[in-house]
Amino acid sequence: MITIRNLSKVYESQDKKVEALKNINLTINKGEIFGIIGLSGAGKSSLLRCINLLETPTSGEILINGTDITKLRGAELRETRKKIGMIFQHFNLLMNSTVYDNVAFPLRINRVPEAEIEKRVLELLEIVNLSDKKDSYPSQLSGGQKQRVGIARALANNPDIILSDEATSALDPTTTESILSLLKDINKKFGITIVVITHEMDVIKHLCNRVAVIEDGVIVEEGSVIELISNPQASTSKRFLADMIAKLPNPDLIQEHNPTEEVLRISFFGEDANKPFISQMVKQFDVEANIIVGNIESIQDVQVGSLLVKISGSKENIDSAIDFLNNHNLRIEVLKNGSC
């Protein structure tokens, strides 16, 4: 388990101070895939690099399995870092070394006997499906193959944790999908905790169990991926999910101060996606419903969607209809003032 308490990071240059992280508190459970998403400059890379002390926090604690690693020095810190693998955005491979030697590199640093190195490297190359590339050089590999080498290298010391720093942002969509599938398989097979930072919501949707949204060095939202997608609260979350949130094609559809009409945004997920709540509402409360726009997609085998619906009728019936929807665990937002 990773527990981050009151973590802050301030960068200083000459007379200027930049607060990259501000009082971060997070708990990342053992064996989960945890995502950290934010815009460029939000602080996500600083947070990731603090977790393995590539960046020294200005204040706060980082506990890994109960030990505050910010207080470790020398041999103790080196031993702890062995159990934290890292995957980089631009691969960070040794260009003049073969695939085999790139994966063997961290083992040689730790003075592992060559016989053990050979056995481990060959095992890892099989895991990442690169056994036939062991004698190739990085310049002879595709981007996806280079990242597979990076993943194998991150696994070399049998880590408990893998930190992934924008590992797919330099890859095409098809290759990205294969890398995400590989990371999922590794997590499932070995129970390794994986912490992923990204600015790509597709990565979060397809890979992570839980997610934190970081904005200007502050965690503004945290929860399960399904919760975030079905009911985003922070402006950054809504921005990342803009293509999934049903929007008004015409703001004039909202008529202020008209008690006989309301426009609702209805968010739903799971089994609720297949239930006829709208038709039940119309029959039961004598209102008319016009579906303006909507979308639905499958996220980690869970249906998640959003509808914009205009309902018309008496104010009393509209209020009862909205209560009905709320009582069935749908998330209802009554749109006002041209909001979308």
Unique residue bearing structure tokens 């009409």: 261
- Structural domain count, the chain: 2
- Per-residue confidence (pLDDT) for residue 180, from 0 to 100: 95
**Tokens standing for residue 229:** 């997608």
Chain-centre distance of CA 98, in angstroms? 32
Give the integer Cα–Cα distance in Å for 196 and 202: 12
**Beta 67-68 vs 59-64: how paired, if at all?**
antiparallel
List the strands of the sheet with 210-215, edge to edge.
Answer: 84-87, 161-165, 193-198, 33-37, 210-215, 218-224
Unique residue bearing structure tokens 């695939």: 99
Average pLDDT, the chain: 89
Q: For residues 227 and 269, state if they share a domain.
A: no
Q: Of 172, 180, 159, 152, nearest to 93 (Cα)?
A: 152
Domain membership of residue 199 as a residue range: 2-231
Residue 301 is part of a domain; what is its CATH number?
A: 3.30.70.260
Q: For residues 201 and 262, state if they share a domain.
A: no
Residue 237 lies in a domain: no
Decide if pLDDT at 334 tops 50: yes
Q: For residues 265 and 320, state if they share a domain.
A: yes
- Per-residue confidence (pLDDT) for residue 254, from 0 to 100: 57
Band of pLDDT at residue 26, cut at 50, 70 and 90: very high
End-to-end Cα distance, the chain: 39
Decide if pLDDT at 12 tops 70: yes
Chain segment 60-72, per-residue pLDDT in tens: 999 999 999 999 9
Q: For residues 103 and 167, state if they share a domain.
A: yes
**Beta 193-198 vs 210-215: how paired, if at all?**
unpaired
Chain segment 216-271, per-residue pLDDT in tens: 999 999 999 888 887 788 888 878 877 666 555 665 555 555 678 888 888 877 77
Q: Report the percentage of the chain scoring pLDDT > 70.
A: 93
